[in-house]
Structure 1
Amino acid sequence: MPPPILHLLLLLCFLPGGKGAETELQILLHLKTSLGINTTTPGFESWSSDHSPCNYSGILCDSRNSVTEINLNRRGIYGKIPFQSVCQLHSLSKLDFGSNNITGELTADIRNCTKLQHLDLASNTLTGTVPDLSPLASLRVLNLSENGFSGKFPWDSLGNLTGLVALSLGDNGLLDPSPFPESVKNLTNLSLLYLSVVNLQGEIPPWIGDLTALVDLEFADNSISGGIPPEISKLRNLNQLEIYNNLLTGGIPAGFGNLSNLANFDASQNRLNGSLSELRFLTKLISLQLFMNGFSGQVPPEFGEFRELVNLSLYSNELSGELPEKLGSWAEFNFIDVSTNFFTGRIPPDMCRQGKMDKLLMLENKFSGEIPASYENCKSLTRFRVNNNSLSGTVPAGIWSLPKVNIIDLTLNKFEGQIGAGIGEARSLHQLFIANNLFTGEIPPEIAGASSLVSIDVSFNQFSGSIPAGIGGLNQLSTINLEQNSLSGPIPDSLGGCVSLSSVNLGKNSLSGPIPASLGQLPSLNSLDLSNNKLSGRVPASIASLKLSSLDLSNNQLEGEVPVAISIPAFNDSFVGNPLLCGYDVDFLRQCSSEPGRSSSNLHTLLVCLLVACSILLVSLALITICKKRRSYGSDLPKLSWDLKSFRKLTVGVDEHKIIDSIKEENLIGKGGSGNVYRASLGNGLVVAVKHIPLQPDPEERGTAAMLGEKRISGAREFDAEVGTLSAIRHVNVVKLYCSVTCEHSSLLVYEYLPNGSLWDRLHTSAGEKLGLDWEARVHIALGAARGLEYLHHGCDRPILHRDVKSSNILLDEEFKPRIADFGLAKILRSGGGRDSSSHVVAGTYGYIAPEYAYTWKVNEKSDVYSFGVVLMELVTGKRPIEPMYGESKDIVHWVTEELGSVASVVELVDKKIPEWAKDEALKVLRIAVLCTVKLPAMRPSMRTVVHLLEEVAVACWASYNPA
């Protein structure tokens, strides 16, 4: 046959319609089916059997029309990759499915993709063990990071992949512990080595210095110990070195300054010590993170000449001396945190010269002098904290009015002068802490304009004048502390309008007049200190309705009877220094009846009480009449009538009075975040749980709405949150909301009744511990709860952030199937959701709160993941989130993380009630919990990934429990 004809026939085999093309078409159509793609999927319109595979989006072919690349990175695709089929594409050199939602396992069929040069499966939810990869000898890029791989990784097989230039295996925290893999020393072409969060142990090998092509070296978040080997200084091309959160000791080795191209260096959260002198040669540094170590000595003066430095974090070390004056003055410097050291001297003046500085954190040092005036023009600042230093002088006026600042903390210094009137323009300010200084003058009335304020502490200063009445308009204000000043005049009645207040301290001033009765209307008030003033009149009866844990009214000029509800031994020192106060049958108060001439006053009090009681009775009768009329004549009646809204067919026709009548002390079964919960039988065989949410008028709406005869409800926020969230949810692991019953002053939510109480009850109460909770039940509770949260984050039209995930909010039915409950804090994530979605409202329960709450005030769905990780730790260890055994200011996350890195046998962490056969699986759950609770939110898995990881454990648990 003539050569031209042969060439033509061979070419036809690879054209559309030829046998080769048809085979590749079938392979891609199979892939399309496995991934659930259709021609209506955005970006996949071209994936049709009518088109050539080479015309498919994300597909690249060679000159013979053979598929060489499949690049579907960040396409939002789901499903499993059929590696057996895909690896029949014999010319395939690139396979990229990174940053999707791919599930399943990386099967041994991948070894048939022998021509692969680029394999990227990162940021998916792949599970199982990784097979031997040695046949993939042509690989130049291997990226399996951020998945859920477990078991023993085939480290030895990497030694055959000598052509690798990029190796990324990080963020697979379920892998078995391993020393630094010896096989990597053969990969001398590597420019990127990413081994963070893969359970590495032992020491950094000296041969790391032989990988001289490295540009990016990362093995953070492991358990690597020993010192930084001096051989690392041979990596002259290194641009990024991340070794944070390990167990490294010793100092920065000699010769480290030879890494002249190093731009990003993070060795934070280790046990390193010594000086920073070797770093003075690293003139290309952009970001330097060395916080939480034991470094000492001075910051090298050369740092002041670093022209590219924009991030510097050295907090929690033992550094001393002065900071270089020109520090941060060259590039767009945005962050400094040198807190908790022994620094002296002045604050460098030009760190915000480029106008990009975000955070200035220099607290707990010995800085002196004034705040440089340049910072009053730093409009980009969000956090300004210089507390606990020796700073003095007046605060530059513009500091008070910075538009983006959310915390100003000047506590424990020697500042003088006044709070600037510009504070009213600080619309983003959440926290104002200026206690223990020498401030004078009045608290400016303009402070009412700082509408986002949550905490105010101006205690131990020399403020005078009256408390601005406008503070009552700060409806997000949670704590106010004006103690130890020279304030005078009355306590403004408007303070009772701060509906979020939990703590009020106005002690040690010269305040006069009566205690406003409006303070008794604050639903969340927990601590009240009005001591050492000149307050007069009676203690308002409304104060007795508060659930106070701390009360101090001592050393005033109060008189009359102390309400019985607060005349209790717990408050026996709360009334001293008020000789005209009295009470009945208490030994720490003068007896009211023993004073001559007060019988008429007592009679007057009795008559008033009777009159009030009669009024209440009449109002109650009127309400009953109105409700009955409403039932008889329809819904066109005043808002005081009860209104039942049914969300499920099961409750259609239910009589609301059976629900209302259940609100009795004997029916109380628990207390949720926003109200008490009662058991009720509806008479149709349905037993339900009823949450009672008492509502109060919202002072925000006292204007136009009040003029129209309408009253907004502040407690309705919690009510609306639960109703709005739960009425739309249909998921087996989220508690069912049957109906709501409301009137103007009360709201009732009717849920399904879960007879086995909460997970907290089962784990941590004496009754629950006696009944026990076997391992199989624990696994299924963990998996069910995870599925409920996964639905909230990923299964709703708009993702829902719960914000109070904890074991007491995971309820158990008769078969111990879990339900996520108590959505009083829930928040719909803004359109788009994802990693940028956040809330600025600090909420949740101590011990479960993610660390970013305290530091950034921004939370997203990864904060729920953190809280769920704490629940998993409870399930495995049997311990509470907060226990004395953890140490002061420590929690279960700190304890588990520390113990995992130090104890000889981590099995000791597992609850003794968990049987021996289940302990390996328990440790897998504990590792998932550790992944969920890492400090950086971005490094936590999504709830979808958590579900996949727990499903693996559940399958293994079932197999172990039922070996047949």
Structure 2
Amino acid sequence: MGTLQLIVCLLLLSCCAMRRSRAAYEDVAIDLNDDILGLIVFKSELHNPPALSSWTEDDGSPCSWKFIQCNSATGRVSGVYLTGLDLSGRLGKGLQKLQGLKVLSISNNNLTGELRPELAQLPNLETLDLSHNKFTGQLPSSFSSLGSSLRYLDLSQNMLSGPLPDNVFQNFPSLSYLSLSGNSFQGPIPSTLSKCSVLNGLNLSNNHFSGNPFIQNGGIFALNRLRLLDLSNNLLSGNIPTGIYTLHNLKELHLQGNQFSGSIPSDISLCPHLLKLDLNSNFFAGNIPTTFGTLKSLVFLNLAHNTLNGEFPQWVGNLTNLQHLDVSDNGLTGVLPMSMGDLKSLKSLILSNNKITGNLPTSVVQCNGLKTLQLKGNLFNGSIPERLFTMGLEEIGLSENRFTGSIPPASGQVFESLLVLDLSNNDLSGEIPPEMGLFSSLRYLNLSRNNLHSRIPPEIGYLQNLTVLDIRGSALYGMIPGDLCDSSSSLSILQLDDNSLTGPIPQEIGNCSSLYLLSLSHNNLSGPIPSSMSMLKGLEFLRLESNELSGEMPKELGTMQNLLAANVSYNKLIGRLPPGGVFPSLDASALQGNLGLCSPLLKGPCKLNVQKPLVLDPNAYPNSMHGHNEGNEIARRLDHHKFLSISAIIAIAAAAIIVIGVIIITLLNASARRRLAFIDNALESIFSSSSRSGTPSVGRLVLFDTRTSGNLFADPESLINKASEIGGGLFGIVYKATIGAEGRIVAVKKLYKSNILQYPEDFDREVRALGKVRHLNVASLRGYYWTPQLQLLVSDYATNGSLQFRLHERPLNLAPLSWDTRFRILLGTAKGLAHLHHSCSPPIIHYNLKPSNILLDENYNAKVSDFGLARLLTRFDNHSIAGNRFQGAPGYAAPELVCQSLRVDEKCDVYSFGIMVLEIITGRRPIEYGEDNVVILNDHVRVLLEEGNVLDCVDHSMGEYPDGEVLPVLKVALVCTSQVPSIRPSMSEVVQILQVIKTPVPQRQEGY
């Protein structure tokens, strides 16, 4: 009986065990179904993902699916690896079902939409990588609950925006890597970031973060395990206090592209493991800390584009591991030490645009690994070390210095390695070495502005890869070699202006098939223009002015459809212009000085190479009566012409009398106006003297066009209240106001007081000079209001607002601008700038051209505004404008404006105009955060042009447009935005080009 009971008990226990096992199996099955369900729901939000074809709900487990990893112990999904599968669609629901998920990597795809807040419901997540997608919106507040297990978070290269919640990082004790780079986050960096105590990699670059993240005893300084800190290209500002030494584990520190100021922290030298230090493009001032000489591990040091001064560091030879050194665009002085030769690992040395003097140390040639040497814009003197041209350098830039002597002969590795050679703007002399023809890889050769007194060696024609040859203003003589392009078809820019070249333009110039700029002006070239020049189908700019060229212009030149501008003035050309292309629309300035050219724009004799008329002798024929009749007819014609000549003389005399009368009346009127002006100025001088004597003066409004002066403003602040504000810029804030009894609507700019002229007579003189500028496409300055505390400028009010408003801030009830309207705006802007540059004396450079400064009247005529206001500054030169490079519109500043030691001219406005044209045509801003980091508009359009897809960037909201107009306008814009100022056309040339683009080419007449 006892045995039977034992058997029954064992059976019961066995059944219970089987039931428990079945229940456990059912639980696992339910969990597996949750994983399948979550992944299938996630897949459903994607657009036809062929890579995920193996994911099907018919399977009992997802562990066999591609890109899925499971935990072998639990059978749950632990990893989803979908990197680089070209997935598109949205990040849908479902992933929160994967409660065992540790790794989620969906980087390098095309996913859009907002981030799902449900991601915070994954309690075991350790790695979350959503980088390189197109996610938008703000970071969900639920991300602060992602879990204490998260170690790796990468949301970089998306389109996320908005401020970050300050508490977002309060629950990340295990986070070791964080990257939010390449988004549009703004505001301060959250203070809770300091709680991520084990963080060793932090990348917040390329956003809009502001404020100062370096707070003593907190902030970034609390992250003492950091090895990588990248805060570059934000809006961070302020001084960096002592405390970086707490980040003693740092290997890379990137702070470039911000607005940090003050001295460079010397305690950076207490980070002994530092490999890369990049502080360029900030406002750091003072000396480079001498303690940097102890950073023996440093391989990369970039301090460019700051306001550093003092002597070039003599301890630089201590940094024996240094590979890249860039301190360009500062104010460093002194000389280079001989210890430069100790930098055996140095590959790149960039010292451009400082004030470094003395000889270039011969020890530099001991830097055997050197590839790039850029010393442009300093005060170096003496000769160029000969052995410099025996090294394996790829780029030599010694322009804008005071080097003397001859160009050293080349030998060794440099023949195969050298890509760029720029020795321009020095005092070099002697022959151009023929060895230069052996630089097999050379692409850019600039020897301009020297005293070479040399012929052009024919060996230059051996340069197979040369794209730019510039030897302007170097006292060249002799003939242009005919074989310049025999070995190379890649030459795109040939500039030989301002020399003493003689002889004809070689017929072989037609072999330079890739030329788009040919400039041979201001030489002594003679003979005809070769017809072979018409073979240059890609030529866009041709300058032949101020030579001795003669004969007729080949009519074949009219077939050059890509030619945008040509200048043949001051030669000895005769006959008709080529009938096609750009020539019928050339401006008189491009043709003048050729007394034999036939054009309605020119005065003087016109010589045509036509067959001489046949003259018959009437006595040579037997029919003398017939000859007698012909002789009488000729006599009658001569008498008729004599009568017409006398009539013409009488008419001319009468016209002269009338002109003289008009001149006399005009002078009398001018005299009267001067007397009235004298009275006005006398009154104004009385008014002005009170301010200089210390007596407070009463503010008054002066209107130039109505001669209204002395009108008092009872309350000027009532005109410029916040409610009437309509814009602002570099010099002040603009308001809409009503003045006078007639209720005239005007635009009033309240100038910022900083650096504005303080004496009323100085202010009056400069404003009146600007007020005299009158042009259809220039916003007229109508008057001003002045007190020592308040300065206002009065100008016409634009009915249709600004171009900025119509392009980017247009309300839905306003239709987009059509192509014709956009073309009218850009052509009008070009005409306005051309007037400022070429018709004003001295020329007026705008410096701050952007869409908000282009006003539109009731007919959408463009009005260039805000011009010339730099004249109202107490201290104005090109450098002071360059110093404001961070205050202007992003993307519009020409490269030369960034270099504070470079003088600038009208070409900086041409660059800004080109950027604005691209913005008008594409509807996009000059700089945007796109799919792959920052999108630079002109680079983007240039790439599309090279790929043949440039019309893909056109703003389709403007409706239909003619490809034949839009495409050449885009090309003009890209030429205007060239990095080399000399390549950019003048604004008068731009106007000519645009007019040609809009004007249909006349059909060639039959048999012409």
User: TM-score range with shorter-chain normalisation?
Assistant: 0.5 to 0.7
Show the counterpart of 1:297.
310
Q: 1:182 aligns with which of 176, 191, 203?
A: 191
* Residue 987 (structure 2) aligns with: none
User: Alpha carbons of 1:111 and 1:517: their partners in 2 closer, same or farther (altered >3 Å)?
Assistant: closer
Q: CA deviation at 1:295?
A: 0.7
Q: Does 1:107 align with 2:116?
A: yes
Q: Deviations over 1:919-960 (max 9, x none)?
A: xxx99999658975459989x9999xxx9xx99xxxxxxxxx
Q: Do the aligned residues in 2 keep the contact of 1:242 with 1:267 (CA within 8 Å)?
A: yes
- For 1:307, the equivalent position in structure 2 comes to 320
Q: 1:561 to 1:264 in 2, by over 3 A?
A: same
Provide closer, same or farther for how the CA distance between residues 452 and 6 of structure 1 changes in structure 2, counting only shifts above 3 A.
farther
Deviation at 1:237, TM superposition (A): 0.6
Give the alignment's Cα RMSD to 1 decimal.
5.2
CA distance in structure 2 between the partners assigned to 1:941 and 1:198 by the alignment: 24
Aligned to 1:131: 140
Per-residue CA shift, 1:368-422, capped at 9, x if unaligned? Answer: 34434444344461x3211011223333433796445443211012333433434
- Does structure 1 residue 483 correspond to structure 2 residue 490? no
One-letter amino acid of the structure 1 residue matched with residue 605 of structure 2: Q
Distance in 1 between residues matched to 2:565 and 2:802, nearest whole Å: 28
Instruction: Say if 1:112 and 1:542 are closer, same or farther in 2 by CA, change over 3 A.
Output: closer
Q: Which amino acid aligns with 1:388?
A: E
What's the CA shift string for 1:782-814, capped at 9, x where partnerless? Answer: 9xxxxxxxxxxxxxxxxxxxxxxxx969999xx
Find the residue that maps to 1:414 and give its secondary structure. Answer: coil
Which of 87, 95, 100 is residue 104 of structure 2 equivalent to? Answer: 95
Letter aligned with residue 492 of structure 1: P
1:78 aligns with 2:87: yes
Residue type matched to 2:567 in 1?
L
CA distance in 1 between partners of 2:78 and 2:815 (Å): 41
**SS of residue in 2 equivalent to 1:230:** coil
SS in 1 for 2:285: strand
Aligned 8 A contact 1:190 1:213 in 2 = yes
Deviation, 1:225, is: 1.4
Structure 2 CA distance for partners of 1:214 and 1:587, relative to 1, 3 Å: closer
Alpha-carbon distance between aligned partners in 2 of 1:496 and 1:310, rounded to the nearest angstrom: 45
**Offset of 1:324 from its aligned partner?**
3.8
Where does residue 775 of structure 1 map in the other structure? Answer: 810
Asked if 1:464 corresponds to 2:477, the answer is: yes
Aligned to 2:520: 506
Give 3-state SS (helix, strand or coil) of 1:87's partner: helix
Do the aligned partners of 1:440 and 1:463 also contact (CA within 8 Å) in 2? Answer: yes
1:411 counterpart = 2:427: no
Inter-partner Cα distance in structure 1 for 2:924 and 2:490: 42
Shift of 1:68: 5.6
Equivalent position to 2:51, from 37, 41, 45: 41
Answer yes or no: is 1:895 the counterpart of 2:888: yes
Partner residue in 1 for 2:674: none
Aligned residue identity for 1:895: G
- Give the whole-Å Cα distance in 2 for the aligned partners of 1:213 and 1:936: 41
Q: How does 1:601-640 map to 2 (within 5 A)?
A: 604=611
CA distance in 2, matches of 1:771, 1:165: 45
Alignment CA distance shift 1:525-1:222 (3 Å): closer
The Cα shift of 1:200 comes to 1.6
Deviation at 1:452, TM superposition (A): 3.8
Cα distance in structure 2, aligned partners of 1:925 and 1:584: 44
Indicate the SS of the match to 2:353: coil
SS of match in other structure, 1:69: strand
The answer to whether the 8 Å contact 2:178/2:203 transfers is: yes
Name the amino acid aligned to 1:245: G
| Separation in 1, partners of 2:307, 2:364 | 25
Aligned position for 1:551: 567
Equivalence for 1:675: none
d(CA) in 2 for partners of 1:810 and 1:335? 49
- Whether 2:347 is the aligned partner of 1:342: answer no
Which of the numbers 517, 529, 544 marks the counterpart of 2:544? 529
Rounded to whole Å, the distance in 2 between the matches of 1:325 and 1:147 is 48
Change in Cα spacing, 1:136 to 1:875, as seen in structure 2 (3 Å) is farther
For residue 164 of structure 2, the aligned residue among 140, 153, 164 is 153
Task: Check whether the contact 2:362–2:385 (CA below 8 A) recurs between aligned residues.
Answer: yes
Name the CA distance, whole Å, in 2 between partners of 1:561 and 1:574. 12
Percent identical across equivalent pairs? 25
Q: Distance in 1 between matches of 2:166 and 2:325?
A: 36
Q: How far did 1:276 drift?
A: 0.9
Listed one character per residue, the Cα deviations across residues 64-122 of structure 1 (whole Å, up to 9, x for unaligned) are: 23336324253324145766422222222222222332323222211211222222212
Q: Following the alignment from structure 1 to structure 2, what is the Cα–Cα distance between the partners of residues 501 and 58?
A: 52
Structure 1 position 246, deviation (Å): 1.2
Distance in 2 between residues matched to 1:241 and 1:162, nearest whole Å: 23
Name the residue aligned to 1:850.
none
Task: Say which one has the larger Rg.
Answer: 2
Separation of aligned partners in 2, 1:770 and 1:259: 47
Q: Tell me, yes or no, if the aligned pair for 1:326 and 1:349 is still in contact at 8 Å.
A: no
Question: Please, which moves more after superposition, 581-590 or 158-167?
Answer: 581-590
Instruction: Answer with 566-575 or 195-204: which moved more.
Output: 566-575
- Aligned counterpart, 2:508: 494
Cα–Cα, structure 1 residues 603 and 341, in superposed 2: closer, same or farther, change >3 Å?
Answer: closer
Residue 395 of structure 1 corresponds to which residue in structure 2?
A: 407
Distance 1:289 1:57 in 2: 45
Where 2:111 maps in the other structure, the secondary structure is strand
Aligned with 2:329: secondary structure?
coil
Once the 2 structures are TM-superposed, how far is the Cα of residue 456 of structure 1 from its aligned partner? 1.9
Aligned position for 2:706: none
Instruction: Pick one of 327, 330, 346 that aligns with 1:333.
Output: 346
* Displacement after TM superposition at 1:449 (Å): 2.9
Q: Which position in structure 2 is the counterpart of 1:269?
A: 281
- Between 1:6-15 and 1:434-443, the stretch displaced more is 6-15
Report what 1:362 is aligned to. 375
Who is 2:126 aligned against?
117
8 Å Cα contact 2:182/2:929 also seen in 1: no
The aligned residue for residue 623 of structure 1 is none
CA distance in 1, matches of 2:22, 2:363: 69
Match of 2:71, as an amino acid? D
Q: Equivalent residues in 2 for 1:127-276 (5 A)?
A: 127-132=136-141, 133-138=143-148, 139-173=150-184, 175=185, 177-204=186-213, 205-206=215-216, 207=218, 208-276=220-288
Aligned runs of 1:15-34 on 2, under 5 Å? 18-34=29-45
Please tell me whether the aligned partners of residues 335 and 358 of structure 1 are also in contact (alpha carbons under 8 angstroms): yes
Higher mean alpha-carbon deviation, 72-81 vs 292-301, is at 72-81
CA apart distance, 1:358: 4.1
Structure 1 residues 603, 108: CA separation in 2 closer, same or farther (over 3 Å shift)? Answer: closer
1:542-581 residue pairs with structure 2 within 5 A? Answer: 549=565, 551-554=567-570, 558=572, 561=575, 570-571=587-588, 576=593, 581=595
What whole-Å deviation, never above 9, does each CA across 1:462-486 have from its counterpart, x for those lacking one? 4333211012555444432323444
Helix, strand or coil for the counterpart of 2:36? Answer: helix
Question: Counterpart of 2:494 in structure 1: which amino acid?
Answer: I
Alpha-carbon contact 2:554-2:578 (below 8 Å) kept: no
For residues 121 and 193 of structure 1, the distance between their equivalents in structure 2, rounded to whole angstroms, comes to 16
Distance 1:573 1:109, change over 3 A: closer
Q: Is the 8 A contact 1:583 1:589 kept in 2?
A: no
Contact 1:520 1:542 in 2 (8 A): yes
Cα deviations across residues 865-919 of structure 1 (Å, max 9, x unaligned)?
A: xxxxx9999999x99999875988999998333999xxxxxxxxxxxxxxxxxxx
Q: Deviations over 1:244-278 (max 9, x none)?
A: 11111101124221122211111111111111124
Q: Which residue of 425, 440, 443 corresponds with 2:456? A: 443
Aligned counterparts of 1:467 and 1:74: Cα–Cα separation in 2: 58
Q: Please point out which of 314, 327, 332 is paired with 1:319.
A: 332
TM-score between both structures, scaled by the size of structure 1 = 0.59
Following superposition, the deviation at residue 492 of structure 1 comes to 0.8
Is the 1:567–1:583 contact (alpha carbons within 8 Å) kept by the matching residues of 2?
no
Kindly provide the CA deviation profile for residues 591-642 of structure 1, in whole angstroms up to 9, marking residues without a partner as x. Answer: 358xxxxxxx9763679xxxxxxxxxxxxxxxxxxxxxxxxxxxxxxxxxxx
Mapped partners of 2:551, 2:498: distance in 1: 22
TM-superposition CA deviations, 1:142-188 (whole Å, max 9, x none)? 22222122334223131222332222222221x3x322321112222
Asked whether the 8 Å contact 1:321–1:344 carries over to 2, the reply is yes
Residues 403 and 779 of structure 1: CA distance in aligned 2, closer, same or farther (over 3 Å): farther
* Aligned residue type for 2:34: T
Q: Which runs of 5+ in 2 are unaligned?
A: 1-11, 615-797, 824-829, 831-849, 871-877, 894-922, 957-1008
